[in-house]
Structure 1
């Protein structure tokens, strides 16, 4: 492609363009549709399909399983066929997966449609994240990730509210129908905002589905998210244990901090550089988790939540930039596919590992151990697992 902001060019000169705005709007519609499903699907599986707790967990968790498996496969596809191809088809698959619940009569069919949704999510995220980087000037890549991630958080925060209200006022079928419709809108916006297949795209069957240099920041992301995943899984039970029954206020505090800082300080990862930014992120994450662990009272929970949120705000943008920098433009989707597996694994395994510590000891010990894992990530990022940067071409 020889356009102003595609792979194989000298790169765009401006970040805020009409196409970048449409791309972000595409992400908002998509993630709202995805978020709408979360509060409705468990009740649908349990009440409408007669499934038990295991069935509910499988229906909800199957999404992450298929997404993790598919990410390294769709990465090379996004490079060879183009970002628009995987974004549009990702929207189509997710839309079909959500609409499929209109026809689901058994738990097995609901799980299959959820697995289909995961395949679409893998394709969409890899494609749109790569497209956002294609549109960003090289010196503003971290800023682009920050703004793009705000659309993700906004959609996933607003979607559950819309889905829950719609299910209560109408029915679960209305949620499935609207979710599918929003995916269709997102597909149109993605097709409009993203250029087609680049001229220098790889041809033929890929020799590897993993981009090895991107595995280094992926390892650092995995370790940096373990404590955060444990926090998400057990903070509600922890605050109940200390006599505070409003965990929603804790989650809201975390979300407000992350979204507002990613808007106000969007350029910070570019100004500090990815490695210094990730060092700062790990440090705040360690301190935040240890405050929650060592001050098991309401003020300690909120102070620790604020500090942890500051740490997590820029961890993903900083390491994401390192993953993107590890690959030439025509291998960018492959690098993102490799890198984003770490998120799926951390969210899936973080709660499990934290739960094991809770079972053996206590909530406070679990949060303290989460801080230790972040400290290990900090040490590794400065010593052993130093990410590589691909030469410009």
Structure 2
């Protein structure tokens, strides 16, 4: 039987949080392992260019966008545990498709098409897992612990992504892309066992009319996040290829530096959105992020490029909670979980549309200018944040980290 928040003791909630953190960590560890391996596999082994790399990477984000509201509705109707379990099943299927694609390596077009389907399934899996985990946390946390729950779930994701990049490079170089498929499959199966004993918990289901209200409330913060949110896709799809092309090793450190700096920012500066306000924090950290991305483009040496990825990660860390606070503050009080889902969908939209387009740009200009374009687009979020600040509503107790 699902457990309602008032009946759930804090110690039990902490134990469930630990299990959910382990679940998210395991899934995103194998996801992170694919970050350096997949572009190299598509480019080196299958012989495709940057557009195809962007297209396959973008499939994950487009799928996340399509499944975002669906996963939230399922979490409401069937419970977050069912949503997370569904995501894990999709992740397992993605691992199987990775392995299946290797059977058609002599037919690169068919092989990359199977990879495309695998990435699309993985995007849906991530949407179900993260939306379900966040809903689970919101249901278990109680009014005084929502911020802590969301903070640690998010941190476990980026710790896993940071650790997954060197793991993926090692596996790919030593054992080939098959090891990435096996790791994805095994990670999903192990995680199913981890959550099997965690009690389910549900928030009150909302009717369909609430979706329109939430969308109207959060579209502007979501648009603000979409511009810098594109940089996450650029880092995952193109940073390793850029560093390999320029002879900067270890190439996997580009994304690991991004994720590690993001974690540092969340640990030591996580209270800034509460102190300064979400919109004001977003302005500051968008500027830091844009400078970091531009530094990657302009860097004449590896150490400056690694510093640029770290600055970009540090800035990206508090853009999400900055605009997220504005989104949740404007949403109906009984629909904060749905507000997070719709807000995050704007990032998926930007990544699904622009990642393939920037792959086409990279075919013409090279990979470096893509980082400069990302930096310039991110600055479009500044006037949006300023508008949000000028029209801020007084209710800002919602806390997203």
Contact map agreement 1:227 1:373 (CA 8 A) in 2: no
Q: Which residue of 2 aligns with 1:36?
A: 33
Partners of 2:172 and 2:302 in 1: how far apart?
A: 33
Q: Which residue of 2 aligns with 1:245?
A: 248
The structure 2 residue matched to 1:312, chosen from 313, 316, 332, is: 316
Q: Which residue of 1 aligns with 2:107?
A: none
Partners of 1:219 and 1:181 in 2: how far apart?
A: 36
Partners of 1:229 and 1:111 in 2: how far apart?
A: 16
Q: Evaluate the alpha carbon distance shift between residue 138 and residue 321 of structure 1 in structure 2; reply closer, same or farther with a 3 A threshold.
A: farther
Confirm whether residue 196 of structure 1 aligns to residue 196 of structure 2.
Answer: no
Q: Evaluate the alpha carbon distance shift between residue 24 and residue 43 of structure 1 in structure 2; reply closer, same or farther with a 3 A threshold.
A: same
Contact map agreement 2:258 2:309 (CA 8 A) in 1: yes
The structure 2 residue matched to 1:131, chosen from 129, 136, 145, is: 136
Partners of 2:173 and 2:370 in 1: how far apart?
A: 36
Confirm whether residue 375 of structure 1 aligns to residue 395 of structure 2.
Answer: no
- Taking the TM superposition and a 5 Å limit, the aligned residue runs for 1:31-110 are 31-41=28-38, 52-53=48-49, 58-104=55-101, 105-106=103-104, 107=110, 108-110=113-115
Q: Which residue of 2 aligns with 1:346?
A: 350
Partners of 1:356 and 1:110 in 2: how far apart?
A: 19
Q: Which residue of 2 aligns with 1:323?
A: 327
Confirm whether residue 262 of structure 1 aligns to residue 259 of structure 2.
Answer: no
- Aligned-residue offset at 1:250: 4.6
- Taking the TM superposition and a 5 Å limit, the aligned residue runs for 1:163-202 are 163-166=168-171, 169-170=174-175, 172-193=177-198, 195-198=200-203, 200-202=204-206
Q: Evaluate the alpha carbon distance shift between residue 22 and residue 264 of structure 1 in structure 2; reply closer, same or farther with a 3 A threshold.
A: farther
- Aligned-residue offset at 1:268: 3.6
Q: Evaluate the alpha carbon distance shift between residue 140 and residue 155 of structure 1 in structure 2; reply closer, same or farther with a 3 A threshold.
A: same
Partners of 2:299 and 2:182 in 1: how far apart?
A: 46
Partners of 1:209 and 1:269 in 2: how far apart?
A: 26
Q: Which residue of 2 aligns with 1:278?
A: 282
Partners of 1:115 and 1:78 in 2: how far apart?
A: 20
Partners of 2:98 and 2:365 in 1: how far apart?
A: 41
- Taking the TM superposition and a 5 Å limit, the aligned residue runs for 1:215-226 are 215-226=219-230
1:165-188 Cα distance to aligned partner (Å, 9 max, x none): 445555654543342232123233
Q: Evaluate the alpha carbon distance shift between residue 348 and residue 155 of structure 1 in structure 2; reply closer, same or farther with a 3 A threshold.
A: same
Contact map agreement 1:142 1:318 (CA 8 A) in 2: no
- Aligned-residue offset at 1:384: 5.7
Partners of 1:80 and 1:355 in 2: how far apart?
A: 39
1:134-174 Cα distance to aligned partner (Å, 9 max, x none): 44465664554433222112222323433444455556545
1:228-278 Cα distance to aligned partner (Å, 9 max, x none): 65566666787799x773473554433332122323344443444433322
Q: Structure 1: state its 5+ residue gaps.
A: none
Q: CA RMSD for the aligned pairs? A: 4.3
Partners of 1:217 and 1:113 in 2: how far apart?
A: 31
1:193 is paired with a residue whose SS is coil
Partners of 1:348 and 1:329 in 2: how far apart?
A: 30
2:379 is paired with a residue whose SS is helix
Contact map agreement 1:97 1:114 (CA 8 A) in 2: yes
Q: Evaluate the alpha carbon distance shift between residue 156 and residue 308 of structure 1 in structure 2; reply closer, same or farther with a 3 A threshold.
A: closer
Q: Evaluate the alpha carbon distance shift between residue 171 and residue 227 of structure 1 in structure 2; reply closer, same or farther with a 3 A threshold.
A: closer
Contact map agreement 2:62 2:353 (CA 8 A) in 1: no
- Aligned-residue offset at 1:63: 2.5
1:273-309 Cα distance to aligned partner (Å, 9 max, x none): 4333223222323444566677766676465545433
Partners of 2:183 and 2:233 in 1: how far apart?
A: 30
Confirm whether residue 154 of structure 1 aligns to residue 185 of structure 2.
Answer: no
Farther off after superposition, 172-181 or 219-228? 172-181
Q: Structure 2: state its 5+ residue gaps.
A: 105-109
Partners of 2:174 and 2:234 in 1: how far apart?
A: 34
Partners of 2:334 and 2:171 in 1: how far apart?
A: 42
TM-score, scaled to structure 1: 0.76
